[in-house]
Amino acid sequence: MKLIHCADLHLDAKMTASLTKEKAGERRKELLLTFERMVKYASENQVEAILIAGDLFDTKSVSATVCHRVEEAVLGHPDITFFYLKGNHDTGHFLAELRQIPDNLKLFGEEWVSYSLGKQGKITVSGIEFSEKNQGSAYHSLVLDPAKFNIVMLHGQEAETGAKDKAQVIRLRELKNKGIDYLALGHVHRYREEPLDGRGVWCYPGCLEGRGFDECGTHGFVLLQVEEQTGACTRQFVPFALRTLHTVEVDVSGCMRTGNMVERLETVLAGEKIPPRDFVKIVLTGSLDVECEKDLTYLEKRLEQDYYFLKIQDETKLRVDIRDFLLDESLKGEFVRLVMAAEELPEEERAAVIRCGLQALAGEEVAV
């Protein structure tokens, strides 16, 4: 039997943090289309069940279009069983909008619910939606048949540190030696698999599509193939995102003009071989002379046509050599000496003030 484990699709996410209104709307549609592509993939590859381990949706109110398309995807594939466990972003709005719950849509609640799969019922899918009320007792109340292949679905943070977005903490140590073969988790947006105990593993499939530059890299879902008779299981991460997000650091030390930086950036990007459909964040690093001419807006405009989305983050440091100005009797020299004497300002702040001042004295547009 083949199953798909996915999570954190965040359908209907606003996507407006970095994108224009038009591109944010386009990207929202792409999240939905990727979900539909995954269902089509399942149908074409004889996948019998899709495990959605939380955060299918992103907001309290889901648009009618998204509700209808998800409903149609479920109803249009009666040969696939959809197991939907709500996450901390899911509110139940989608379920309330359904005329009735489709027979092939299986749900969970605040007590353990188990379903049987396979011709002989030797595969079970169990899950519980954590709340403040049940998290303390949930671990003790989980009872599984060790003779079956046991899949358990949960949504939350697997460690005591780093929990966010009001997600519950999953205490893995209390799930050991419970007879779990595959612990299907959701909430962490990057693929990760680790042993749970001598029998089973726990796994985050990550999100289907990266939505921000904190979600760079490959995204997709996990494809499981379980042999019902023996309980043998193979697992494969399937890259599936329409677009990938990349962060590229470029050291521009020694560049004195924007044109020099363009050449440096183009050389590095050519080596990265990033597809034009992807997102790119360029992080400028290194040390620049305080008199360096640097136009970030021009750099972005020059390069953005090569990718779906591009932004530049400036993390360069400015270098001021006071010896270059000690004997300079011009207004520029007097200005530099005056700023460098202001010891109450941090060194980097003094360098920034000098850069802006020198640009103004040269009649250039000041890049703050």
Q: Which residues pair with 192 in a beta bridge?
A: 204
Residue 167 DSSP class? P
Which pLDDT value is given to residue 189?
A: 95
Contact 210, 241 (CB under 8 A): yes
- The per-residue pLDDT for range 185-213, each reduced to its tens digit, is 999 999 999 999 999 999 999 999 999 99
SS3 content of the chain, % helix, strand, coil (to 5): 30, 25, 45
Lowest mean pLDDT among 8-17, 218-227, 297-306, 345-354: 345-354
166 in the same domain as 229: yes
End-of-domain residue from the set 239, 261, 286: 239
255 in the same domain as 171: no
In which order are the strands placed within the sheet that holds 309-314? 245-251, 279-285, 309-314
93 in the same domain as 13: yes
137 in the same domain as 11: yes
Residue 333 covered by a domain: yes
- Mean pLDDT score, 125-132: 92
- Mean pLDDT score, 311-335: 79
| Dihedral angle, C-alpha 51, 52, 53, 56, nearest 10 ° | 180
158 in the same domain as 20: yes
Residue 367 covered by a domain: no
Instruction: Assess whether pLDDT exceeds 90 at residue 118.
Output: no
275 in the same domain as 231: no
0.85 surpassed by pTM: yes
218 in the same domain as 162: yes
Q: Is 241 helix (H, G, I), strand (E, B) or coil?
A: coil
Residue 366 covered by a domain: no
End-of-domain residue from the set 179, 210, 239: 239
Q: Which tokens hold the place of 240?
A: 């599936």
CATH number at residue 139: 3.60.21.10
End-of-domain residue from the set 239, 255, 277: 239
Give residue 307's domain range: 245-361
Q: pLDDT category, 215, cuts 50, 70, 90?
A: very high
Q: Cα(196)–Cα(181) distance, rounded to whole angstroms?
A: 9
- At position 93, the amino acid (one-letter code) is H
Q: How many domains does the chain have?
A: 2
Q: Which tokens hold the place of 354?
A: 């000098």
Q: pLDDT category, 342, cuts 50, 70, 90?
A: confident
Q: Which residues pair with 107 in a beta bridge?
A: 84
288 in the same domain as 226: no
Q: Is 266 helix (H, G, I), strand (E, B) or coil?
A: helix
